[in-house]
Chains A and B, each alone.
Chain A
Amino acid sequence: MIQIKDLLEVLPLLIIAFSAIFILLLEVSIKKSETVIFGFSLIAILAAIATSFNYFNKEMIIFNQFLRISNASLTFSVIILISMLITVIASKSYIEKENVNFGEYYSMLLFALMGMMLMIFANDILIIFIGLELMSVCFYVLAGFLRLRQKSNESALKYFLLGAFMTGFILYGIALIYGITGTTNLTLIFSDAKVLTNYVFIIGTALLIIGFMFKIGVFPFHMWIPDVYDGAPTVVSGMLSTAGKIAAVGTILPIILAVNILNFKIIFSVAAVATMLYGNVIALAQTNIKRLLAYSSIASAGYIFVGVASMNEFALRGIAYYLIAYTFMQLGAFIIVAMLEKKDDGSRDYKNVDLDFYKGLGKRNPVIATFMTFFLFSLAGIPPFAGFWGKYYLFFAAIKSNQIWLAVVAILLSLIGVYYYLKIIVYMWFSESLEPVSEEKFSFSDTGFAATVLAVIGTILFGVDPNLFFSLFKFVTP
C-alpha cells in the first residue's frame, strides 16, 4: 500500500502532474488565459526544480517498488526540467509569432515532462512504458502543432508512424523479459544472474534497447531525426532534441549497466562510431540550419554512446555532464533559429532557416550573432565552453575503459564537426549580408531572448567551472 509519506517523496512529479491537469481547467475557465498559463507553468517547473534538490543522497525505492529515487535519476530529471524551463520561456513569443497561441501547448509540454520524469524514476518496466508513451504521444502532437503548415503535419505523421512502430518492438521486448522472469520489476529482473544469459531474455533486452536507441537517434535508427526536426515547430525541435533524448538516455542507462554483458560493449562502440560518422559527414552538406542542427544532434547521440560503450563509473559523470552542456548549447541554438524565423504569413514552409540567411548576421544583429557563436563554439567543443568539458569527460571514460581506439576515433570525428560549426560562424561574421540591413525586426522583449540569455549563462558557467556541476549534483569523485 502506498503511504502518504511516499507522496511527499515524489513532490516534483506531483507538482508537474497536477499543474499539467490544472492547465486544462484554466484554459477552459478563463478567457485570454495564455499568459496566465505561461506564468503558471513557469512557476510549476521552477517549484519542481527547487524541490528536486531535497532528495539528493537519499537512495530509496517507493510506491510499491514502482519508483526509485537515486542521485543519477534526480540529476537527469533536473537536467530535463532545466531544458523544459528554457523551452517554456522561449515558446511564448514563438507560438504568438506562429499564430498558435493556445494554452494546450503548455499542457502538452508539461504532460510530456511528466512522462519523461516517470520514465527516469521508474523501477518497473510498466512505469517505463507508461512514461514513454505519455512522452511520445505529447511529442507527436507538439511536432504537428502548426496544424495549417504542411511541413509540420508531415513531420508529425512520420514521427507518429515510426514512433508507434518502435513502440511495438519495445513492447515485444518487454513481453519476452516478462515471460522469462515472471515479473516486471527491474530490481527483481536483474537480481537473478542466471537469467541474464538466457537467450530469450537477451533478445528481449536487445529489443528494448533498440527501441530506446531509436528514441535517442543512434545510427541504424536515426532516419527520422532530420525530417522530424526540420518539420516540427523550431522551439519544439529544440525540446525534442534535448529533453526527449535525455529522458531516453536516462532511462536506458541503468538497464544497460545492469545487463552489462561484455559482448554488448563492442556493439555500442560500433554504433557510437557509425552515429558520429554519419551525423558529422552528412551535416557538412546541409543548407538548412534546422537540418544541420538535427544532424549535429545525431552526432551528439554518438558522443553520448561513446560514454554508454565505456560502461564504467566515469561514464555516468561524462554522460550527465555532456547532457547538461548539450541542453544549453543545442536548445540555445534552436531558440536563436526560432527567433530569427519570419513571422507566419500563411505559407506552408518555414522562412529564414537557410544558411544563406545567416550571412552577415554579425553586422545586422551583433548580440544574437555573438550568442549563436557561443553555442556553436560550445557544440564544436572549443575550451572555454561547457561542450568541451562534456566531450572531455566522455572521451576520458572511454580511455579509462581501455577503449583508446574509440576515444581517438571520436576525437577525429568531432574535428569534422568543427568544420561545419565554424562555417556558420564565418558566414555570420565574415560574409556579406544577402538581406538588406534595415530588414531586421527584433526586439529584446521577445521571451526567446530571455531563454537564450539563460542558455548562454549555462554554457559559460559550466564551461568555466566544471566542478560546479559535480558539486551541485552531489557526484562522488571516483
Chain B
Amino acid sequence: MIEINYYLIVSAILFCTGVIGVLVRRNAIVIFMCIELMLNAINLTFVAFSSFMGNVNGQIFVFIVMTVAAAEAAVGLAIVIALFRNKESVNIDEINILKW
C-alpha cells in the first residue's frame, strides 16, 4: 500500500509544473495545455483523498472538473482561433493592443 503522501507530492509537483509553464511559455496554446495540466494534477489530488477516505464525493468532483475542462477547452480554442484569424499569431507577446 502506497501512502497518500506520495500521491499528494506527485500532484503538487505536477501542479507546480503547470504553474511554471503558464508563467514562462509564450504560446497561447501551450499556456492552455499547462492549465489543463494543473487541472489534471488537482484531479489526482481529489482521487487520492477520495480513495483514502473511502468517500466518493471527490470522484464525482473529478467528473465535474473533467467536464468543465472540456467546456473550457472548446471555448478557449474558439477564442484562440478568432484571434488567429484577425492577427495571424498566437504568441502572447504580440497580443498587446490593450495596455494602460
Q: Do chains A and B touch in the complex (CB under 8 A)?
A: yes
Write the nearest CB–CB distance from B32 to chain A, whole angstroms. 7
Compute how far the CA of A183 lies from the CA of B55 in the bound complex, rounded to whole angstroms.
8
A29 CA to B26 CA, complexed, in Å: 43
Is A220's beta carbon under 8 Å from chain B?
no
Task: State the CA gap A140–B76 with chains docked (Å).
Answer: 8
B49 A178 Cβ-Cβ under 8 A:
yes
Nearest Cβ on chain A to B20's Cβ, whole angstroms: 12
CB pair B46–A178 under 8 Å, yes or no, is: yes
Complex Cα distance, B65 from A178, in Å, reads 14
A455 to B: closest C-beta gap in Å: 27
**Contacts A140-B75, A161-B31, A164-B32 given: A172-B95 contact, CB under 8 Å?**
no
Residues of the A chain whose Cβ atoms lie less than 8 Å from the Cβ of B65? 129, 171
Give A231 to B98 CA distance when docked, in angstroms: 7
| A7 contacts chain B at the CB level, 8 A cutoff | no
Query: Which residues of B lie under 8 Å from residue A366 when comparing CB positions?
Result: none
A156 to B76 CA separation, bound complex (whole angstroms) = 9
Do B99 and A154 touch (CB < 8 A)? no
Q: Which residues of B contact A147 (CB under 8 A)?
A: 82
Which of A140, A179, A291 contacts B49 (CB under 8 A)? A179
A178 touches B60 (CB 8 A): no
State whether the Cβ of A227 lies closer than 8 Å to any Cβ in chain B.
Answer: yes
B-side contacts of A450, CB under 8 Å: none
Contacts of B39 in A (CB 8 A): 167-168, 171
In the complex, the answer to whether A168 meets B15 with C-beta atoms within 8 Å is yes
In the docked arrangement, what's the CA distance between A141 and B99, Å?
21
Assess whether B61 is in contact with A184, with CB atoms less than 8 Å apart: yes
**CA–CA, A165 to B35, complex, Å?**
6
Query: Quick one: CB contact mask for A179-199 with B, threshold 8 Å, 1 for yes?
Result: 100111000000000000000
* Highest count of chain A CB atoms <10 Å: which of B42, B78, B99: B42
Contact A182/B55 with A157-B79, A164-B32 known, Cβ cut-off 8 Å: yes
Interface residues of B in 10-68 (CB under 8 A from A): 15, 18-19, 22, 28, 31-32, 35, 38-39, 42, 45-46, 49, 53, 55, 57-58, 60-61, 64-65, 68
Closest approach, in angstroms, between the C-beta of A206 and any C-beta of chain B? Answer: 15
Across the interface, name the chain B residue whose C-beta is closest to A285: B100
Asked if residues A227 and B15 are in contact (CB atoms below 8 Å), the reply is: no
> Nearest chain A CB to B5's CB is how many angstroms away?
12
Query: Are A156 and B72 neighbours in the complex by a CB distance under 8 Å?
Result: no
- Which of A133, A155, A171, A182 counts the most chain B CB atoms within 10 A? A171
Assembled-state Cα–Cα distance A176/B45 (Å): 8
Q: How far is the CB of A145 from chain B (nearest CB, A)?
A: 10
> In the complex, A150→B94 CA distance in Å?
12
A362 within 8 A of B: no
Taking a contact as CB atoms under 8 Å apart, the answer to whether B32 and A154 are in contact is no
- Given A151-B97, A168-B15, is A156 in contact with B79 using a C-beta cutoff of 8 Å? yes
Residues on the B chain within 8 Å of A42, using CB:
none
Q: How far is the CA of A201 from the CA of B70 in the complex (A)?
A: 29
Q: Which of A130, A133, A154, A174 contacts B95 (CB 8 A)?
A: A154
In chain A, positions 158-173 with a C-beta closer than 8 Å to chain B are 158, 160-161, 164-165, 167-168, 171-172
Q: Is the CB of B75 within 8 A of A168?
A: no
Given A144-B79, A164-B72, also A151-B49 (CB < 8 A): no
A129 to chain B, nearest CB (A): 7
A343-383 near B? 1/0 per residue, CB < 8 Å: 00000100000000000000000000000000000000000
Q: Is the CB of A161 within 8 A of B35?
A: yes
B79 with A168: CB separation less than 8 A: no
Closest to B76 in A: A160
Partner of B71, one of A129, A133, A168, A184: A133
On whether the beta carbons of A150 and B57 are closer than 8 Å, the reply is no
Q: Is the CB of B72 within 8 A of A137?
A: yes
How far is A158 from B90 in the complex, measured between Cα atoms in Å? 12
Task: Please pick, from B19, B35, B57, B98, the residue contacting A227 in the complex, using a CB distance under 8 A.
Answer: B98
B9 proximal to A (CB < 8 A)? no
A153 near B75: Cβ-Cβ < 8 Å: no
- A164 near B76 with CB under 8 A, answer yes
Chain A residues whose C-beta falls within 8 Å of the C-beta of B49 in the assembled complex: 175, 178-179, 182
Is A34 on the interface with B (CB-CB < 8 A)? no
Shortest distance between the CB of B25 and any CB in chain A (Å): 11
Query: Which residue of B53, B80, B86 contacts A182 across the interface (Cβ within 8 Å)?
Result: B53
Which residues 100-156 of A sit at the B interface, judged by CB distance below 8 A? 126, 129-130, 133, 137, 140-141, 144, 147-151, 153-156
**B residues at A contact (CB < 8 Å):** 8, 15, 18-19, 22, 28, 31-32, 35, 38-39, 42, 45-46, 49, 53, 55, 57-58, 60-61, 64-65, 68, 71-72, 75-76, 78-80, 82-83, 86-87, 92, 95, 97-100
Known: A149-B86, A175-B45. 6 other contacts (CB 8 A): A133-B68, A140-B79, A161-B31, A167-B39, A175-B46, A183-B57
Which A residues are closer than 8 A to B by beta carbons?
Answer: 126, 129-130, 133, 137, 140-141, 144, 147-151, 153-158, 160-161, 164-165, 167-168, 171-172, 174-176, 178-179, 182-184, 226-227, 230-231, 291, 348
